[in-house]
Amino acid sequence: MREEERVEMVRTQVEGRDIDDPAVLAAMRKVERHLFIPDSRRKEAYADRPLPIGSDQTISQPYIVAYMTELLRLTKSKSVLEIGTGSGYQTAILAELAEKVFTVEYIASLSGEAREILDKLNYRNIAYRVGDGYAGWPEFAPFDAIIVTCAPDDIPDTLIGQLAEGGRMVIPMGAGSYQELMLIEKKPGGKVVIRDLIGVRFVPMVHS
Ligand code: SAH
């Protein structure tokens, strides 16, 4: 039943819009989104909207997860840094597509719960860190891709610094409850190109 809901979610909400990367679609069909959602909201797991996951945080709408993931152009030889582990759902999608995922979460309990589910699902290519995403994860930089799922007022220079040449970063940016989703490309040679894509709604990226 849930598998049918998931296939339908991908067909109508993801493929039915503008996502056509076969690997992204396959990952979205495979990862059991309902496992990342608290019991009280599980019935809504495949709905076309974000949902609360506790600690005042939310799991993003499926379409937004797909859209941001597709922009990263991940392949099995790439590393990706994620800021904002949250429920761990986006982390699982990344782990399906990349060689290695480094995920940073500010709230220890959320990181722990996400890790528990992802360990149970047997993901072995994810490294977890509890800490402040503004610092990135310097020990493992540079990353081929960076995805930020909370919104800073400004693009953190540290994260641009940890992006590999030829790498791509997606990040919602702006103060207040609406932001712009930005795509940042670091070209070979180091030139940084920034594009403003769509309006989005994320929780703020908190300062420690
Ligand atoms: N990708 C997540 C979305 C979680 S919401 C999912 O699919 O569920 C955003 C997350 O960013 C929250 O869990 C929040 O605690 C975290 N966050 C906010 N500010 C942060 C910071 N400075 N560093 C790391 N994580 C942060």
CA 103 – ligand 1 centroid, Å: 10
171 lines ligand 1 (CB under 6 A): no
Mean pLDDT of 45-65: 95
206 found inside a domain? no
Q: What is the mean pLDDT of the chain?
A: 96
CA 191 – ligand 1 centroid, Å: 28
CA 189 – ligand 1 centroid, Å: 31
Cα 40–chain centre separation: 23
174 found inside a domain? yes
- To the nearest 5 percent, what fractions of the chain are helix, strand and coil? 35, 30, 35
Mutational test site, ligand 1, from 34, 101, 203, 208, max ligand atoms within 8 Å of CB: 203
What is the pTM assigned to this prediction? 0.98
The CATH number of whichever domain residue 38 belongs to comes to 3.40.50.150
61 found inside a domain? yes
What is the residue range of 45's domain?
A: 2-200
Write the pLDDT tens digit of every residue in 147-184: 999 999 999 999 999 999 999 999 999 988 899 999 99
Write the pLDDT tens digit of every residue in 88-146: 999 999 999 999 999 999 999 999 999 999 999 999 999 999 999 999 999 999 999 99
142 found inside a domain? yes
195 found inside a domain? yes
1 — pLDDT class (breaks 50, 70, 90): low
Tally of domains in the chain: 1
120 found inside a domain? yes
205 found inside a domain? no
